[in-house]
Amino acid sequence: MPAALIIGAGRHVGRALIKKLVHEGWKVSVGSMEPDYEGATRDGYLTFRAPLNYSDTLHAALGDAVRNLGAFPNVIIYNGALTLPEPEDPLSLPLSAVQRSSEVGMHSVYVAVQFAVRGFATLPRSAPQVFIVTGNPMPFVPAWDKMLTLGLVKAQQAYFIDHLATVFADRACQFYFATQVKSATEPMALEEFSAAAHATAYWTLMNRTTQGNWNAQFNKEGIFVNDL
């Protein structure tokens, strides 16, 4: 039975992914800073506390989750984020706020990728080995107002995934920064956001056998608008 590890499971994308994967017969473990143990029991998945705000303890938590899964997951999805209220003057933000955002948005991503690559190496080369970060258009469009900390970490994530897809091109593992957009040239309007589209698009990526375009952009139907 294939397995997936979802790190950071919110009410929208995370919930849609869980529903899709459980329906498809996958074994799923979901890490959250506030795990929903009752929901996990009801809906047929495993859950664990993922300390995304303390990246130096995340590796151990992921190891425990994999042991509970019983096998290393074929797919790891990083869906964690920390959105902070921001003032009119972005430079009035204390450094501690930027550090907290980076801890969840970049440092824990780095730990998760390290963990993933080492574990993927233990899987058969023919098995799916996919790491997906839930992206947004911020690295590719003009700056959004009052979104400094989120914009900084998304730009770092995009570069990181691009780098990994290039460096590990000769390996079986794949890396994607997956973003819902309106079209190949337009970002998504907030009212067009679709958790179901994320689940559809991620399912496509999870079933690829070779690395596609790391910048995986899809529309509200979950159909990719750029070449994979």
180 occurs within a structural domain: yes
Q: What is the structure's pLDDT at 189?
A: 78
Q: What is the structure's pLDDT at 228?
A: 76
**120 neighbors 187 (Cβ within 8 angstroms):** no
Number of domains forming the structure of the chain: 1
Instruction: Check whether 60 has a pLDDT greater than 90.
Output: yes
Domain that includes residue 208, residue range: 3-218
27 occurs within a structural domain: yes
Q: Please compute, for residue 45, the number of CA atoms within 13 A of its CA located in the half-sphere on the CB side.
A: 30
In this prediction, residues 65-87 reach a mean pLDDT of: 93
Instruction: Check whether 2 has a pLDDT greater than 90.
Output: yes
Among 137, 153, 144, 140, which residue's Cα sits nearest to residue 105?
153
Instruction: Check whether 121 has a pLDDT greater than 90.
Output: yes
224 occurs within a structural domain: no
In this prediction, residues 186-210 reach a mean pLDDT of: 92
- Could you please report the per-residue DSSP string of 61-79? HHHHHHHHHTS--SEEEE-
Q: How far apart are CA 210 and CA 216, in angstroms?
A: 14
225 occurs within a structural domain: no
94 occurs within a structural domain: yes
Q: 175 forms bridges with which residues in the sheet?
A: 131
122 occurs within a structural domain: yes
Does this model's pTM top 0.85? My answer is yes
Q: What is the pLDDT of residues 129-180, one digit of tens each?
A: 999 999 999 999 999 888 999 999 999 999 999 999 999 999 999 999 999 9
CATH number at residue 147: 3.40.50.720
228 occurs within a structural domain: no
Query: Mean pLDDT, the chain, as a whole number?
Result: 94
